[in-house]
Amino acid sequence: MRIHIGTDHAGLEFSQTLQQHLRDAGHEVIDHGPQEFDPLDDYPAFCINAAKGVIADQQAGVQALGVVFGGSGNGEQIAANKVLGIRAALVWNESTALLARQHNDANVIAIGARQHTVDEAISFIDTFIAEPFSFEGRHVRRIAQLAEFEATGDIAGKNVDK
């Protein structure tokens, strides 16, 4: 599988270790930066580029997921979710990583590099990558509603405030 990675200075060292783990596990890793430590760098472009890479690959029929890092993972999740078609989930344990895939068909996860050890993050990522979407009806329906709102600004019959 192709895994797109984006981070900021807070997650740079973390990211490099995790990229090697993913390569050792047989995944192709695309690093969207940064390439060097800059304590004043800004995460949005790195995370948006990782998310755009995931969408481009998925649209081309390539199996791809993304992982974005930062101090807390919150801003990185928000940045990734600005890309049309991305469903990024903040994960903080194996259960949230599992449910992000099972219930939400998340295609990107965000992890707080200052919140977890490298071993914990590896566990979250491995769980996320290994878990398929359940295709359970209620989850398919909810994801379709999110996509409808993303495309139209409304969810037909669901009383979305205008």
Active-site annotation, residues: 76, 103
Task: List the helix and strand counts (H, then E) for the chain.
Answer: 6, 5
Residue count of the chain: 162
Helix (H) or strand (E) holding 29: strand 28-31
Nearest to 129 by CA among 68, 67, 75: 67
Distance from C-alpha of 78 to C-alpha of 61, rounded to nearest angstrom: 25
